[in-house]
Structure 1
Amino acid sequence: MHGMSTVLEVIVDRLRLDQKEHFLNLFQECYGDHIAKQTRRRFEWQYFMNPYRSDIERDERLNIYVASIDGKIVGCMG
């Protein structure tokens, strides 16, 4: 494939609440069942059940940054 290049558009933005399952699926794909279950439990507590949470902004985005390609979450930080 010498001489050919592929340009991918990577979009980085804060995680929207409607992307929650896609975000958690990333951990399933990368780390398997055990880590995915732990991540889901922590995520639910930290962002939804924690009485002291302040992470959900008025625009229903979390303070987690995700990288997406063609609408699929491929990375995260936060």
Structure 2
Amino acid sequence: MRLKFVLLGLKKDNKQRLITMAVEAGMQIRAGVTQNLDFLCGGYNAGPAKLEKSRHQGTTVLTESQFCSLIETGEIPDQ
């Protein structure tokens, strides 16, 4: 099973770098907050409504550094 994720509120260069890292790690990219989402990586400009919707759906919300740690180690960092 491939993990599904979305990146919100990040600078364009950072977002592209994280997408590349995640795809290479076998993750699947989603364009927005969907129902069967595993992770949301929220940047400095992530909308509070989307973050809340994700949390309500049970999606794990991570910072950029936590998301990088997940990709590098395979472990979900403490929140």
Which TM-score bucket, shorter chain as reference? 0.3 to 0.5
Structure with larger Rg: 1
Structure having the higher strand fraction is 1
With normalisation by structure 1, the TM-score equals 0.34
With normalisation by structure 2, the TM-score equals 0.34
